[in-house]
Amino acid sequence: MRYQNPHEPAENIGVLLDYLGAAENASSRYVYRGQVKEWDAALLPSIYRRFLGLDKTYTRASSEFAHSLRRCGHAFIEVKPDSGIQKIILDHPHLPITAQEYQALMRLIRDPEFALLISTSGYQHALEQRIVPQTLPYVLGRLSLWRAIIDEMHRAMIRQIGFLQPFGYMLGMTLAQQYGFASELLDLTADLRVAAFFATHDHPTYLFEGPDAIRQKHGTGTGVIYRLPSAEGNVRYERIDSYNYYTTPNQLHLKDLCMRFEDKSSPEMRESLWEGLDDNGRMAMANATIVLPHFFSYHEFMEQNASRDLSTVEKIDQFLHLYYFGGNVRYFRLLDMPSGSFATSRLGRQSAVMIVPDELRIEQRDESDTYAQFQALEDVKTRDGFQRFYFRHTAQPPDVSPIDREYLWPREGDIFQTLISRVLQPTTEAYGWGEDWLPKRLDLVAGGYVESPA
pLDDT band at residue 321 using 50, 70 and 90 as cut-offs: confident
- What amino acid is encoded at 313 in this protein? V
Same domain membership, residue 405 and residue 346: yes
Domain-embedded: residue 116: no
Domain-embedded: residue 75: yes
Same domain membership, residue 298 and residue 174: no
Mean pLDDT score of the chain = 89
State which of 307, 334, 361 marks the end of a domain. Answer: 334
Q: Choose among 70, 12, 102: nearest CA to 377.
A: 70
pLDDT(328) > 90:
no
Same domain membership, residue 266 and residue 406: no
pLDDT band at residue 288 using 50, 70 and 90 as cut-offs: very low
Structure confidence at residue 265 (pLDDT): 77
Q: What range defines the domain where residue 299 resides?
A: 260-334
Q: What is the CB neighbour count within 10 angstroms for residue 232? A: 15
- pTM comes to 0.90
Domain-embedded: residue 451: no
State which of 334, 351, 366 marks the end of a domain. Answer: 334
pLDDT band at residue 367 using 50, 70 and 90 as cut-offs: confident
- Rounded Cα distance between 97 and 93, Å, is 9
Convert the pLDDT of each residue in 252-265 to its tens digit: 999 999 999 998 77
The CA distances from residue 447 to 74, 191, 409, in Å, are 35, 21, 7
Q: Choose among 226, 227, 157, 201: nearest CA to 405.
A: 201
- Residues in Cβ contact with 332 at an 8 Å cutoff, skipping those fewer than 6 apart: 240, 260, 261, 268, 269, 287, 319
- Rounded Cα distance between 64 and 54, Å, is 15
The segment with the largest mean pLDDT, out of 44-48, 318-322, 323-327, is 44-48
Same domain membership, residue 54 and residue 187: yes
Same domain membership, residue 387 and residue 271: no
Same domain membership, residue 276 and residue 172: no
Domain-embedded: residue 373: yes
- Rounded Cα distance between 301 and 71, Å, is 43
Same domain membership, residue 306 and residue 198: no
Same domain membership, residue 282 and residue 309: yes
Domain-embedded: residue 131: no
Structure confidence at residue 282 (pLDDT): 59
pLDDT band at residue 303 using 50, 70 and 90 as cut-offs: low
Structure confidence at residue 310 (pLDDT): 81
pLDDT band at residue 336 using 50, 70 and 90 as cut-offs: confident
Same domain membership, residue 408 and residue 325: no
pLDDT(72) > 70:
yes
Q: What is the CB neighbour count within 10 angstroms for residue 315? A: 21
pLDDT band at residue 281 using 50, 70 and 90 as cut-offs: low
Structure confidence at residue 453 (pLDDT): 60
Structure confidence at residue 1 (pLDDT): 87
Total domains in the chain come to 2
Mean pLDDT value of segment 319-341: 86
pLDDT(290) > 60:
no
Structure confidence at residue 277 (pLDDT): 53
pLDDT(284) > 70:
no
Same domain membership, residue 379 and residue 246: yes
Q: Choose among 278, 236, 274: nearest CA to 254.
A: 236
Mean pLDDT value of segment 84-99: 95
Domain-embedded: residue 359: yes
Same domain membership, residue 386 and residue 424: yes
pLDDT band at residue 296 using 50, 70 and 90 as cut-offs: very low
Structure confidence at residue 61 (pLDDT): 98
Mean pLDDT value of segment 266-288: 55
pLDDT band at residue 33 using 50, 70 and 90 as cut-offs: very high
pLDDT(286) > 80:
no
Domain-embedded: residue 32: yes
Structure confidence at residue 77 (pLDDT): 97
Structure confidence at residue 189 (pLDDT): 98
State which of 334, 365, 383 marks the end of a domain. Answer: 334
pLDDT(23) > 50:
yes
Mean pLDDT value of segment 322-344: 87
- Rounded Cα distance between 112 and 207, Å, is 37
Same domain membership, residue 436 and residue 373: yes
